[in-house]
């Protein structure tokens, strides 16, 4: 059973102890998670980009973004980049520089050595060699606002990895220009090639290439269900590991931090849009009631459009306050949900961390607000959504690198390795395998032929 705390609050209170299995399952479903309807609508867009190239990009920019572009306008030129620095104030540029520095510092810790080898037996060296992928496309959405933070988060790990051919795709505004802070962020990240295409159009442009947009084999970045559907449709042409869809979060609160802080943290991801998911989970009824009583006042402090979005999220099955019967059941709900963002709102967060298995990002303690992590803390905020935290990790340097296994055997290790290899070959019936590793090989090689 699910009931609203009060008609005035407009925020759902979901009591796990009173819910059926179906009711609980409904809380775990994300809005827009069924991509079937989107795939049908995306298919003609993808086919048009494949068949028409730049002409389709220009047509869709007019239809979807209200922008009148020419072929020459599809790429942001040097003049547009330079003008972007004049269109935003110096304080915001300073903040972008601060965030870029933190994000770069974090991702540099992820970069592996070029070669890593270990002697696992005498004369047997094994390991890996790491190299960047040749090319990649990064996507920054714009539909519900501008997201220069996502440009930094997605571009910087690719630059740190050493990707040579790196491009950014993002929708133009009605004026035909890219959001200026996004261009500044791209340049700070180290990306100078920015193309004007949004949603499914951007995915298709990168997958097929056009006269203006180069084809790439990798596509990463957050996006709407339209982006996810296009990636699904084009999965044989372009690789994208991360299902980064609409925002979702859980605030796990043990009552040791004040209710107003908890309520404010609940609103962070809820204001991204009506397709977001945002829960506050606690096992303390009085704490839940206090939070519910505070939320209407906090909603009145938001801009009307954001308040409307938050109301949709928190008033339905994709958000609100979840009251669990115990700390163990609270952790179970978190693990079943596998949220994109998890904030353990506690003065002793490590007391709860051990119970958490599934979450893309885990923020610890009362000062580690989700908004700080979204923008400037350093770890990547492009995260798996829709429950994919059970199997996927955040975007990082490894997503833009590949490894090759290395092996080297010298005289001290050959005989033993060859003996066991011959046994495998005889059992599996591969004569050439066994004949390639005779005991005499070590002597023949030593003799030079």
How confident is the model over 16-75, as pLDDT tens digits?
999 999 999 999 998 766 778 889 999 999 999 999 999 999 999 999 999 999 999 999
Domain 36-117+133-242 in CATH 3.40.50.1980: yes
**Which one is catalytic: 14, 337, 341, 352?**
341
340 is known as an active-site residue: yes
Give 229-266 pLDDT, tens digit per residue.
999 899 999 999 877 778 899 999 999 999 999 999 99
Topology given in CATH for the domain delimited by 2-30+245-391: Rossmann fold (3.40.50)
Residue spans per domain, the chain: 2-30+245-391, 36-117+133-242, 410-447
| Residue pointed to by tokens 């066994």 | 434
Instruction: State pTM to two decimals.
Output: 0.92
300: CB partners within 8 A, 6+ apart: 307
CA pair distance 10, 299, nearest whole angstrom: 10
For residues 361-375, one letter each, b for 16 or more C-beta atoms within 10 angstroms of the residue's C-beta and e for the rest, the string is bbbbebebbbeebbb
What is the average per-residue pLDDT within 113-134?
97
DSSP secondary structure letter of residue 442: H
Question: Among positive and negative, which fits the CA dihedral 317, 318, 319, 322?
Answer: positive
352 is known as an active-site residue: no
CA pair distance 136, 60, nearest whole angstrom: 23
The answer to whether residue 108 scores a pLDDT higher than 90 is yes
**Which one is catalytic: 340, 352, 361, 392?**
340
Q: Can 2-30+245-391 and 36-117+133-242 be said to share one CATH topology?
A: yes
């Amino acid at each position: 059973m699910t009931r609203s705390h009060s008609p005035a609050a407009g925020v759902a209170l979901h009591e796990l102890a009173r819910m059926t299995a179906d009711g609980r399952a409904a809380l775990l479903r994300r809005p827009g998670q069924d991509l079937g309807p989107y795939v049908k609508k995306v298919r003609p867009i993808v086919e048009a980009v494949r068949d028409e190239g730049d002409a389709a990009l220009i047509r869709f920019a007019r239809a979807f973004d209200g922008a009148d572009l020419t072929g020459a306008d599809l790429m942001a030129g040097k003049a547009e980049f330079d003008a972007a620095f004049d269109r935003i104030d110096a304080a915001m540029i300073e903040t972008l520089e601060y965030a870029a520095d933190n994000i770069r510092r974090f991702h540099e810790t992820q970069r592996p050595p070029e070669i890593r080898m270990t002697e696992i037996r005498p004369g047997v060296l094994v390991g890996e060699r790491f190299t960047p992928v040749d090319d990649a496309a990064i996507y920054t959405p714009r539909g519900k606002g501008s997201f220069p933070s996502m440009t930094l988060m997605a571009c910087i790990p690719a630059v740190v990895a050493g990707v040579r051919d790196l491009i950014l795709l993002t929708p133009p505004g009605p004026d035909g220009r890219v959001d200026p802070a996004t261009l500044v962020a791209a340049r700070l990240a180290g990306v100078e090639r920015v193309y004007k295409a949004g949603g499914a159009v951007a995915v298709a442009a990168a997958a097929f290439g056009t006269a203006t947009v180069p084809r790439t084999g990798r596509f990463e970045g957050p996006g709407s269900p339209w982006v996810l559907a296009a990636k699904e449709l084009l999965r044989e042409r372009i690789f994208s590991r991360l299902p980064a869809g609409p925002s979702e979060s859980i605030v796990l609160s043990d009552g040791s931090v004040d209710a107003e802080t908890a309520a404010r943290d609940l609103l962070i991801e809820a204001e991204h849009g009506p397709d977001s998911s945002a829960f506050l989970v606690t096992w303390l009824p009085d704490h839940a009631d206090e939070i519910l009583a505070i939320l209407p006042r906090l909603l009145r402090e938001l801009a009307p459009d954001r308040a409307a979005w938050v109301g949709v999220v928190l008033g339905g099955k994709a958000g609100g306050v979840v009251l669990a019967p115990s700390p163990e059941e609270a952790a179970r709900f978190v693990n079943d949900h596998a949220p994109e963002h998890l904030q353990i709102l506690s003065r002793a967060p490590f007391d709860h961390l051990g119970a958490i298995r599934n979450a893309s990002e885990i923020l610890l303690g009362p000062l580690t607000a989700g908004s700080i992590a979204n923008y400037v803390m350093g770890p990547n905020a492009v995260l798996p959504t829709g429950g994919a935290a059970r199997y996927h990790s955040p975007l990082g340097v490894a997503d833009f690198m590949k490894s090759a296994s290395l092996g080297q055997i010298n005289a001290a290790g050959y005989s033993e390795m060859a003996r066991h290899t011959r046994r495998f070959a005889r059992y599996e019936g591969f004569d050439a395998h066994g004949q390639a590793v005779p005991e005499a090989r070590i002597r023949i090689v030593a003799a030079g032929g």
